[in-house]
């Protein structure tokens, strides 16, 4: 690959409304946008989707900035990068920091696809021209109003952020309005071992799945719950690598896996997890992180792969932001989002707006 310049941009976007989970509240979304360009001027974009505080994973925007600027870039010999997977090998000496790695690798994947004159979806073996959209509803959302509005756009799957002890009431409230709505709940690891019987008692609600009920990395309690429930357990934060996915499948800890590119360390790892789950008959879906259109475009390419059979956290550009960083927004039409077919991630970044909302930048060049 021809790689000449890299620019890190820390940006901040105000949210339309606060995004609330039992772990915390977001009023604005700060991310790192990574731009990698070659000597001909082609640009690839990636996104570091860590949060400002370590409530989801141990990484934050500040730690990712440090790892990228002070550790990865000084050690990155681009002459040894022939394709994006080489980046994974070169940075394997760095433990963890999956989101920092994923953001830079994502920019390399976009640039590689553009240099190859193909869409990212085609480059990685995507088979769908469009994917089904899925909505995420935070604790601050006006549930009934939001569901009615999103149903008009054709959303089929709804993921609810919930509070312990209030799950049943919230689900019953929705089901009283829309009895046949496809609902799942996202626990973000809030249950403990003493809650096992309580969790199992939610089995009668007929949910599509329960996502990450127990703490990240606890395959044992998830196994106990799945053995006693018909409702599929889906793992999210517990899956940070292909090895984690293999453990979960071998132990019977889940029936579904949520693949987030940023959480597993990049697209290379996401592809490997997809393939392993497919070969073992385990369906997957693509998770989201309240991200900009750049990360959404990467997610759409990933979700075009054949084993992504469940609608993911894939929504329109205006779901969270008044204005996204793309010139043309990503839109949901009849419950579907088109997978970009242009070269690379297939979307045009609004560079002038990106400059306006940049609060910090850093540039690195190679010969």
Nearest to 110 by CA among 264, 4, 267: 267
Give the pair of three-digit tokens for residue 121: 């979806």
Does the active-site annotation cover 170? no
- Rounded Cα–Cα distance for residues 84 and 169 (Å): 47
- Rounded Cα–Cα distance for residues 101 and 281 (Å): 29
Task: Tell me the DSSP string of 83-135.
Answer: STHHHHHHTTTS-S-HHHHHHHHHHHHHHHHHHTTSBHHHHTT---SEEE-EE
**Catalytic entry in 260, 296, 327, 333:** 260
Which residues does 269 contact at the CB level (< 8 Å), separation at least 6?
Answer: 88, 241, 242
- Rounded Cα–Cα distance for residues 299 and 313 (Å): 9
Residue found under tokens 């959404």: 296
What φ, ψ does residue 176 adopt, rounded to 5°?
Answer: -70, -25
280 exposure class (CB count in 10 Å sphere: 0-12, 13-18, 19+): exposed
Which residues does 203 contact at the CB level (< 8 Å), separation at least 6?
Answer: 228, 229, 230, 231
**Catalytic entry in 132, 161, 170, 296:** 161
| C-beta separation of 252 from 281 below 8 A | no
Does the active-site annotation cover 166? no
- Rounded Cα–Cα distance for residues 136 and 324 (Å): 18
Task: Tell me the DSSP string of 139-158.
Answer: TTS-HHHHHHHHHHTT--EE
Tell me the pairing of strands 233-235 and 210-211. Answer: parallel
- Coil/strand/helix, residue 284: strand
Which residues does 343 contact at the CB level (< 8 Å), separation at least 6?
Answer: 113, 114, 117, 118, 119
Annotated catalytic sites, by residue?
161, 260
């Amino acid at each position: 690959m021809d790689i000449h310049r890299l620019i890190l941009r820390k940006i901040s976007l105000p949210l339309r409304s606060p995004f609330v989970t039992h772990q915390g509240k977001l009023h604005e979304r700060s991310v790192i946008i990574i731009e990698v360009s070659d000597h001909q001027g082609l640009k690839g974009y990636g996104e570091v989707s860590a949060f400002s505080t370590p409530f989801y994973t141990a990484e934050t925007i500040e730690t990712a900035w440090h790892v990228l600027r002070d550790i990865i870039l000084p050690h990155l010999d681009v002459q040894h990068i022939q394709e994006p997977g080489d980046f994974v090998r070169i940075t394997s000496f760095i433990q963890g920091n999956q989101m920092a790695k994923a953001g830079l690798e994502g920019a390399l994947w976009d640039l590689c696809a553009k240099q190859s004159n193909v869409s990212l979806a085609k480059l990685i073996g995507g088979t769908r021209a469009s994917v089904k959209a899925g909505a995420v509803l935070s604790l601050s959302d006006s549930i009934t109003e939001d569901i009615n509005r999103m149903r008009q756009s054709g959303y089929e799957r709804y993921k609810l952020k919930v509070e312990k002890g209030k799950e049943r009431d919230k689900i019953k409230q929705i089901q009283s309005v829309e009895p046949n709505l496809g609902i799942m709940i996202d626990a973000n690891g809030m249950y403990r071992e003493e809650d096992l019987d309580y969790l199992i008692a939610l089995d009668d609600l007929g949910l599509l799945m329960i996502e990450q009920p127990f703490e990240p990395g606890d395959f044992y309690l998830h196994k106990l719950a799945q053995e006693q429930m018909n409702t599929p357990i889906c793992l999210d934060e517990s899956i940070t690598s292909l090895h984690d996915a293999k453990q979960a499948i071998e132990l019977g800890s889940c029936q579904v896996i949520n693949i987030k590119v940023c959480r597993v360390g990049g697209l290379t790892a996401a592809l490997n997890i997809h393939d392993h789950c497919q070969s073992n008959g385990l369906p997957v879906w693509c998770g989201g992180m309240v991200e900009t259109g750049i990360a959404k475009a990467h997610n759409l390419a990933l979700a075009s792969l054949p084993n992504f059979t469940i609608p993911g956290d894939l929504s329109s550009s205006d779901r969270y932001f008044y204005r996204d960083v793309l010139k043309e927004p990503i839109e949901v039409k009849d419950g579907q989002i088109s997978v970009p077919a242009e070269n690379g991630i297939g979307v045009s970044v609004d560079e002038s707006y990106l400059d306006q909302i940049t609060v910090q930048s850093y540039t690195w060049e190679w010969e």
